[in-house]
Amino acid sequence: MLLAIDFDGTLATHDTVDWFSERWAPADFAAADAALARGEIGLDECLARQIANITATRDEVEAFLVETVAIRPGADALVAYCAGAGIEPIVVSSGFESLIRRILDAHGLDLPISAHECDFGPDGMTVRFRERALCDRCGERCKRDEVARLAAGRPVAYVGDGYSDVCAAEAADVRFARAGLARHLDAAGLPYLPFADMADVHRGLAG
């Protein structure tokens, strides 16, 4: 089994891109988030707009995230359980790999990551988007096809909380959801296991 875990708001207590965007570019964050909610732009465009004018350095952003972002309790035990149960855990994110890695390292977690990347510069930040197939459901380059490719025919358990998780969660064999993803699955009539922390995911898999 592949255990695909979203990072922002799922494994981590904060949506890290929103968190540092709101810290350094609050007007850009609010405008992009509102445009996404109205359906005027997609997730990739939202991400690019949120960070475009942030001139903070990588060191500044990483230090802020390490100081303020926690990992949900139970992550260590979940990873240990997966190692003994033949389950491959991987972080699949619409955030930035290097920033996610920095937070995981600070909390002593070693997990593979599939995510976008970002570049810092004096004129702002830019996104280096990971190659993901265009989804025939949402019309965006979402996580669904990538998760299926990583699973390589194995069953998939998906853990998520929001907008970027919808398609991959719908296609999964087992779903763990909270917040916006849980509301979406409720409306769609799709079963899932609610979680508050990674101990809930551990119990659900061992269950």
DSSP for 17-67, please give it.
Answer: HHHHHHHH-HHHHHHHHHHHHTTSS-HHHHHHHHHTT----HHHHHHHHHH
pLDDT, residue 133, reads 78
pLDDT, residue 134, reads 78
Q: Determine the Cα–Cα distance for residues 76 and 180; give it in Å rounded to an integer.
A: 25
Cβ(191)–Cβ(38) below 8 Å: no
pLDDT, residue 141, reads 80
pLDDT, residue 139, reads 74
pLDDT, residue 118, reads 97
Q: What is the pLDDT along the chain (207 residues), one digit of tens a residue?
A: 999 999 999 999 999 999 999 999 999 999 999 999 999 999 999 999 999 999 999 999 999 999 999 999 999 999 999 999 999 999 999 999 999 999 999 999 999 999 999 999 999 999 999 888 778 887 788 899 999 999 999 999 999 999 889 999 999 999 999 999 999 999 999 999 999 999 999 999 998
pLDDT, residue 138, reads 79
What's the Cα-to-Cα distance from 128 to each of 1, 79, 173, 193, 200, rounded to whole Å?
Answer: 29, 28, 30, 33, 33
What's the Cα-to-Cα distance from 8 to each of 17, 20, 40, 155, rounded to whole Å?
Answer: 8, 12, 22, 23
Q: Determine the Cα–Cα distance for residues 17 and 27; give it in Å rounded to an integer.
A: 14
Question: To 5 degrees, how large is the angle CA 77–CA 82–CA 88?
Answer: 135
Q: Determine the Cα–Cα distance for residues 160 and 131; give it in Å rounded to an integer.
A: 21
pLDDT, residue 163, reads 86
What is the number of residues in the chain? 207
How much is the pTM? 0.95
pLDDT, residue 8, reads 96
Nearest to 19 by CA among 76, 103, 90, 91: 103
Q: Which residues contact 106 (CB under 8 A, 6 or more apart)?
A: 66
